[in-house]
Chain A
């Protein structure tokens, strides 16, 4: 096995174990762990079986194994970051809604506490 394969194997395994520990201790949610685990497992596989990564590389015109390996890692990481962007978009929208609803409630509560009847024109 090439030296670089051994290092790739070590790093991928460390990432896999790290992710599993984060999930176990509740600091990483399962749905975000799925892509990380897939990435780590794929990288372990590719570092063990050089032929597969070489063949994939040839398909797109890459003839240098480490480059093919990095390309695969890059694609997986892109997927992970895309998942984050989607999650952040949803969180931003919800955060905004919470701030707005909370503000309206505060105003109505203040009106109630200062003895007024809450404005309700639907009544």
Chain B
């Protein structure tokens, strides 16, 4: 019985999702896949089902973090030991799934973060995003005590305690980002970065686009500030 679940939040990815699920399956045949349909107006859910994935169909759009969290709640309730989150737009290369899972399965870390800036692939970010990542990556590095090269990666492998955290009320659903890294650190969890390849998006609307940069910066600063001060927070248990 598979002990690992791959969670793919998707919004209007009808044309692409079946291809992605097949590709993921070809790289990791022994793992379960669930596509979380975030209130899509197209046939994302049926396409995912026909490709053989389990589907969680939200009644309305919750946004990337909310859809992702639905997958984590499902993973927790069903009893999976490990989970991998990846995006539905094809940017995250499934060839690196095992690389991400290995350190987590070996107990070397609670969360393995796939970084696109560790020498593999040739991902190019826009100037604005680069600056944002350097700023919040720098803050996260300083607090966590290890270099953070990709603070906003959505390509991660988690163990059961990390799943429990991501499924909890403490997980920030509006822009899960560097603040999550800091929370993981404060909760006593070990995180490491693993080099992966991410591709630039071929077509369609990116899940992370339409983002209001001013709100993002404000929200990140507030979230990080509050996390440092907060007393009532998630704590890792035996796991």
**A interface with B by C-beta (< 8 Å):** 93, 96, 99-104, 106-107, 119-123
Which residue of the partner chain, among B3, B32, B56, B78, contacts A103 with CB atoms under 8 Å? B56
In the complex, 5 of the A-B residue pairs with CB atoms within 8 angstroms, ordered by the A residue number, are: A99-B58, A100-B69, A103-B58, A119-B32, A120-B79
Which residue of the partner chain, among B3, B57, B79, B169, contacts A106 with CB atoms under 8 Å? B57
Residues of A within 8 A of B80 (CB): 121
Residues of B within 8 A of A104 (CB): 56, 70, 73-74, 77
The reply to whether A99 and B1 form a contact with Cβ atoms under 8 Å apart is no
Residues of A within 8 A of B220 (CB): none
Given contacts A100-B62, A103-B70, A104-B77, 16 further A-B contacts (CB under 8 A): A93-B169, A99-B59, A99-B62, A100-B66, A100-B73, A101-B73, A103-B56, A103-B58, A104-B70, A104-B74, A119-B78, A121-B1, A121-B79, A121-B80, A121-B81, A122-B78
Task: Give A112 Cβ to nearest chain B Cβ, in Å.
Answer: 13
Number of B positions contacting A (CB below 8 A) = 24
Which residue of the partner chain, among A99, A120, A121, A123, contacts B3 with CB atoms under 8 Å? A121
Task: Give B172 Cβ to nearest chain A Cβ, in Å.
Answer: 12
Residues of A within 8 A of B3 (CB): 121
* B173 closest partner in A (C-beta): A96
The reply to whether A103 and B66 form a contact with Cβ atoms under 8 Å apart is no
The reply to whether B59 and A102 form a contact with Cβ atoms under 8 Å apart is yes
Residues of A within 8 A of B54 (CB): 107
Residues of B within 8 A of A123 (CB): 79
Task: Give A36 Cβ to nearest chain B Cβ, in Å.
Answer: 30
Give Cα A93 to B168, complex, Å. 11
Give Cα A121 to B75, complex, Å. 10
Task: Give A120 Cβ to nearest chain B Cβ, in Å.
Answer: 6
B163 within 8 A of A: no
